[in-house]
A and B are shown apart, each in its own frame.
Chain A
């Protein structure tokens, strides 16, 4: 297969790309990259994505990064059903609106903080996350989730409207991330939970569970982290919490 996807399932954008490709049975080859082993820094991977990030896509000589454009590329190339990325002017605009907002609206430090909680408190950096920073992170998280429930998710439907789209995949993988440190954001949020069930049903439970297997066992993988890799993560974690 000429189209290759380079993914690490610990990463939210990788999961949305994986879900999209697999749900649509696209003729793509998935190559797993280990971020914690620094595989994104190899010479081989740099040829695929000089920005050294996952997900990355290689289609013949064409290489690109950024999950949302990758899904749009595959949607166009393989002519997936319209609802994933509708062509209608206003429907497209609604999906784009969420996809743009979410970069800063939900993909924020608070999620990283939450998912890093284990790494910071645990064996990696051996630091306490300051209580006030955690409280602020939770506040930001709740604010974002309120907005998603009230403004973006249509009643009884999905983010873009009545059918699932790329926007829902991008949203669900971010909202699942806190599970990696034992935080269940669906608790007490009936509308969000109902939307999640619709997304899981639309994607298929087996595929959804497969995509999230890695983050649900994240706590264990951190304990196995090679101590030589700790130095790679330390400045990044410190920067995030400072």
Chain B
């Protein structure tokens, strides 16, 4: 199995973590988003979607992290708690994985893009109202994660960790990597983070998040040609 990844990307971190935790043998194929490698011809042959992660299992090529995660669990017959087969638990995990696309994922990504890429792409600081609105959206998602999805359970679907927790944690680390402290004043969230870290393993958690925690170096490391290539898309997004 080949996994095309850049650990800057939240969905890539989730796929990487699960593959490692389940001890699925794979070849890590690095796709450097900061140099625009995903836009090149070679990557285009792997996937027309021009996104990461991509999984290549023999001849079968699959995109979209939530599809890849479910595939890995099913194919490798992972312990049931990762993606429970019981009707109600399966519904709950799917509910989280569906909700998060346009909630925690969207809002966490926006913070990252505004803090790390806006100044580079637009040539000025982020307007305060834009940043405030984005933080408000992120806070709402975190409140919903705590009060609706977690409540007083150890993990999202109950007593055991699942794919939902891996995906949620990967998304939360995106704004965290830019210096936003989402954990202070949130004891429920902090305790959940500690449990997820313990289950996954402290070393592996650190390894998966090493790149995002150095997000502030992005502006020095981003390739100038790639920047120019990506500018029109981001300017459209930001304006």
Contact = CB atoms under 8 A, between A and B. Distances in A.
A93 B48 contact: no
Interface in B117-158: 133, 144, 147-148
Contacts of B98: 66-69, 103
B201 to A, nearest CB: 27
Interface stretch (A17-25, A72-80, A198-206): A72-80
Given A62-B88, A64-B91, A50 B62 contact: no
B64 A97 contact: yes
A104 interface: yes
Interface in A66-104: 66-70, 72-73, 76-77, 89-90, 92-94, 96-97, 99-101, 103-104
Nearest to B99: A66
A136 B232 CA distance: 12
Interface string A93-119: 110110111011001000000000000
Interface in A44-74: 50-51, 62, 64-70, 72-73
A61 to B, nearest CB: 10
B162 interface: no
Interface stretch (B15-23, B25-33, B70-78, B205-213): B70-78
B70 A93 contact: yes
Contacts of B35: none
B101 A136 contact: no
Mostly, the A contact residues are helix
A239 to B, nearest CB: 8
A150 B70 CA distance: 25
A93 to B, nearest CB: 5
Contact of B102 (A62, A67, A94, A107): A107
A221 interface: no
Given A69-B91, A69-B95, A101-B63, A89 B71 contact: yes
B66 interface: yes
A175 B69 CA distance: 27
Nearest to A96: B67
Interface in B22-56: 48-49
Given A136-B236, A151-B48, A101 B64 contact: yes
Contact of A97 (B63, B88, B91, B106): B63
Nearest to A93: B71
Contacts of B88: 62
A100 B63 CA distance: 9
A73 B91 contact: yes
Contact of A103 (B70, B87, B92, B102): B102
B74 A77 contact: no
A89 B75 contact: yes
Contacts of A68: 94, 98
B109 to A, nearest CB: 10
B49 A72 contact: no
Contacts of A65: 95, 99
A232 B175 CA distance: 30
B55 to A, nearest CB: 9
Contacts of B102: 103-104, 107
Contacts of B87: 73, 76-77
Contacts of B97: 69
B178 interface: no
A151 B236 CA distance: 24
A92 B70 contact: yes
A97 B95 contact: no
Interface of B: 48-49, 60, 62-68, 70-71, 74-75, 87-88, 90-92, 94-95, 97-99, 101-102, 106, 133, 144, 147-148, 236
Interface of A: 50-51, 62, 64-70, 72-73, 76-77, 89-90, 92-94, 96-97, 99-101, 103-104, 107, 136, 147, 150-151, 239
Which 6 A-B residue pairs are closest in the complex by CB-CB distance? A69-B94, A103-B101, A96-B67, A100-B64, A66-B98, A97-B67
Given A51-B144, A96-B67, A103-B101, 15 more contacts: A50-B147, A50-B148, A66-B94, A68-B94, A76-B87, A77-B87, A92-B71, A93-B60, A99-B67, A100-B101, A101-B49, A103-B102, A107-B102, A136-B236, A147-B49
